[in-house]
């Protein structure tokens, strides 16, 4: 994220920072002027307990950042329209949950069993079919991508591991990365940097 943001001082909006407060404190420590929002945001000077739709700050911001948020947002189009009006740059850390194939699911669930048997209860679900049945309203990667491409031009994109966040354990990320590199499992995390297209900017300016 720091490698993609403009240099300080710059104004950054974090959306969907969650109860734990997201990356806002790290960005503020790095010298950014940060506002982080989420209905569940913690209290404190960096935070407001609102949704993107409710946010009344007119901006502008230099960038919007979001970690694992947009695949949850309904309706997605109007929220992205608002974000594109507020800032020219969008940085995402996201979850392409629908890219899990059978070997990837098998690997994750077996890692979960091994860690649970060793007494480390991973924070992710033990059974991904059950998880999927409980989360029927998540946007698949292709929907996110289509809505992003309608408003932003890709500046940087990277597929990466994701399950290590759910598994915990010291070796999970490097193991997941090595298996992805070997083609044994699929990457279901991605990072994206997009720059608002001029068409979006002119229609935003006209409003």
Q: Please, which residue, 97 or 152, has the CB nearer to ligand SAM?
A: 97
Question: Does the footprint of ligand SAM cover residue 42 (CB under 6 A)?
Answer: no
8 Å CB contact between 187 and 180: yes
The distance of closest approach from Cβ of residue 51 to ligand SAM in the complex, given in angstroms and rounded to an integer, is 4
CB atoms within 10 A of CB 100: 19
Question: Does the footprint of ligand SAM cover residue 57 (CB under 6 A)?
Answer: no
Q: Please, which residue, 20 or 114, has the CB nearer to ligand SAM?
A: 20
Question: Does the footprint of ligand SAM cover residue 124 (CB under 6 A)?
Answer: no
> How far apart are alpha carbons 41 and 50 in whole angstroms?
8
CB atoms within 10 A of CB 91: 24
The distance of closest approach from Cβ of residue 47 to ligand SAM in the complex, given in angstroms and rounded to an integer, is 12
Question: Does the footprint of ligand SAM cover residue 189 (CB under 6 A)?
Answer: no
Nearby residues of 38 by Cβ (< 8 Å), 6 or more positions away: 15, 16, 17, 18, 19, 22, 47, 49, 51
> How far apart are alpha carbons 21 and 195 in whole angstroms?
25
Question: Does the footprint of ligand SAM cover residue 161 (CB under 6 A)?
Answer: no
Residue labelled with tokens 């104004």? 11
Contacts to ligand SAM from residues 76-115, by CB under 6 A: 79
Question: Does the footprint of ligand SAM cover residue 168 (CB under 6 A)?
Answer: no
Residues within the interface to ligand SAM (CB under 6 A): 15-18, 20, 22, 37-40, 51-53, 67-69, 72-73, 79
């Amino acid at each position: 994220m720091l490698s993609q943001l403009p240099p300080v001082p710059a104004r950054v909006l974090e959306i969907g920072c969650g109860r734990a407060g997201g990356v806002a404190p790290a960005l503020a420590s790095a010298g950014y002027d940060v506002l982080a929002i989420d209905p569940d945001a913690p209290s404190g000077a960096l935070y407001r307990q609102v949704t993107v739709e409710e946010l009344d700050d007119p901006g502008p911001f230099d960038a919007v950042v979001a970690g694992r948020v947009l695949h949850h947002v309904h309706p997605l189009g109007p929220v992205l329209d608002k974000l594109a009006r507020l800032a020219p740059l969008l940085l995402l850390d996201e979850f392409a949950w629908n890219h899990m194939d059978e070997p990837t699911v098998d690997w994750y669930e077996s890692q979960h069993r091994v860690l649970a048997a060793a007494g480390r209860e991973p924070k992710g679900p033990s059974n991904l079919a059950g998880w999927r049945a409980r989360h029927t309203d998540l946007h698949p990667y292709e929907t996110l991508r289509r809505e992003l491409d309608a408003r932003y031009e890709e500046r940087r994109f990277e597929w990466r591991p994701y399950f290590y966040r759910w598994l915990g354990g010291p070796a999970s990320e490097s193991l997941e990365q090595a298996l992805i590199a070997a083609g044994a499992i699929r990457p279901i995390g991605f990072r994206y940097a997009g720059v608002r297209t001029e068409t979006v900017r002119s229609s935003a300016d006209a409003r």
